[in-house]
């Protein structure tokens, strides 16, 4: 759906342009990263944040799994905490649309700042912090957060449930925290590591239009001309995955038994630690803001507290 606000014309133009793109284009990956990293300035933003880091990097930063493999699974909270937080969020609330231009993504509004802070404190553990610090080489901020509910379905897989990478700069991470257990829903998320994803990238599959995505790993392997081993994460309640969404192919596993609740955090380099960035209201609201700024320097303004 195209919103009838100041972002409408730009979105319409982008959609039209994408309509004429070829399905497989080996140059597209480079173009997308050039657009985000150089043109929009997200690489320079990372350099800016690195220069302002006030604490030492972990000695083994280069060996962090999120750096070498592109993803890592880690338990972040107990099943009891996950259940308690989910209950607190869903109390007196109905699910609603999470993004202004997508009817497919639904979840709970996170309108209570104290509860948001509790969710983030419980998710961004010391182990997650070490991985993020190793990857960014800087502090990091929560750029957006969302709590989604995916219901069991026999309908054809929606776009996040087919193999894809998320468009965005190199320097961004996603943390998915599963708030209920695999035994309740039978869903999760699958990943290819960086090496496997790079095989597929050479085919030109990356960043194609949503309806060109496949849910078949065998089809990806055929295209890549190499065997691909996916890691199917069947999460326990309170488990998380931290991954490089722009470089690691991933696909949701559709729940079969019941709804799957996931807290998703998008993380970006920051000159300030995440708590301070959050307190300054530097994050965007997925329901009203376009996902990516045209110019990464906009983040500086948001961190100065000028955004609201
Ligand atoms: O919901 C999932 O399991 C996958 C979601 C996804 O593609 C993402 O968070 O980038
Ligand atoms: Fe994704």
Reported as a single tens digit per residue, the pLDDT across 64-96 is 999 999 999 999 999 999 999 999 999 988 898
Q: Is the pLDDT of residue 156 over 80?
A: no
Position 307 scores a pLDDT of 54
Question: Does residue 59 have a pLDDT over 60?
Answer: yes
Between residues 231 and 306, the one the model is more confident about: 231
Nearest atom, ligand 1, residue 176 CA = 9
Q: Determine the Cα–Cα distance for residues 66 and 60; give it in Å rounded to an integer.
A: 12
Gap from CA of 249 to ligand 2 centroid (Å): 8
Ligand minimally distant from the alpha carbon of residue 262: 1
**How many other C-beta atoms are found inside a 10 Å radius of the C-beta of residue 123?**
22
**96 Cβ neighbours under 8 A, 6+ residues apart:** 106, 107, 108, 109
pLDDT band at 239 (very low <50, low <70, confident <90, very high): very high
The C-alpha atoms of residue 54 and residue 244 are separated, in whole angstroms, by 24
Express each pLDDT in 2-55 by its tens digit: 666 777 777 778 777 767 777 889 899 999 999 999 999 999 999 999 999 999
Nearest-atom index, ligand 1, CA of 164: 7
Closest atom of ligand 1 to 160 CA is 7
Segment 209-214 shows an average pLDDT of 83
In angstroms, the CA 167 to CA 190 distance is: 18
The CATH superfamily label for domain 8-303 reads: q2cbj1_9rhob like domain (2.60.120.620)
- In the prediction, which pLDDT does 150 show? 94
Instruction: Please compute the mean of the pLDDT values over residues 125-135 and round it to a whole number.
Output: 98
List all residues whose CB is within 6 A of at least one atom of ligand 1: 160, 166, 174, 176, 189, 245, 250, 252, 262, 264
Q: In what order do the strands lie in the sheet with 250-253?
A: 231-233, 188-191, 250-253
């Amino acid at each position: 759906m195209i919103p009838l606000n100041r972002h409408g014309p730009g979105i319409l133009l982008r959609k039209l342009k994408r309509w004429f793109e070829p399905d497989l284009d080996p140059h597209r990956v480079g173009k997308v990263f050039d657009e985000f990293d150089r043109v929009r300035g997200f690489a320079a933003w990372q350099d800016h944040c690195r220069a302002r880091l006030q604490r030492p990097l972990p000695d083994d930063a280069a060996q962090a799994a999120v750096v070498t493999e592109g993803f890592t699974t880690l338990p972040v909270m107990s099943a009891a905490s996950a259940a308690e937080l989910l209950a607190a969020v869903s109390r007196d609330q109905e699910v609603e649309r999470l993004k202004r231009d997508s009817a497919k993504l639904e979840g709970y509004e996170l309108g209570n700042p104290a509860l948001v802070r509790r969710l983030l404190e419980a998710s961004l553990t010391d182990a997650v912090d070490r991985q993020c610090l190793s990857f960014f080489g800087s502090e990091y901020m929560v750029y957006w957060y969302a709590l989604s509910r995916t219901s069991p379905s026999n309908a054809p897989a929606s776009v996040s449930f087919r193999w894809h990478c998320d468009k965005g700069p190199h320097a961004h991470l996603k943390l998915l925290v599963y708030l209920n257990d695999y035994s309740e829903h039978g869903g999760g998320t699958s990943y290819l590591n960086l090496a496997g994803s790079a095989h597929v990238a050479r085919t030109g599959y990356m960043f194609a239009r949503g309806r060109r995505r496949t849910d078949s790993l065998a089809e990806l392997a055929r295209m890549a001309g190499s065997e691909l081993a996916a890691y199917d994460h069947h999460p326990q309640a309170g488990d998380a995955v931290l991954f490089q969404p722009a470089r690691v192919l991933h696909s949701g596993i559709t729940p079969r038994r019941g709804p799957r609740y996931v807290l998703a955090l998008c993380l970006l380099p920051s000159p300030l630690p995440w708590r301070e960035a959050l307190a300054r209201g530097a994050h965007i609201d997925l329901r009203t803001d376009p996902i990516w700024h045209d110019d990464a320097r906009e983040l500086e303004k948001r961190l100065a507290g000028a955004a609201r």
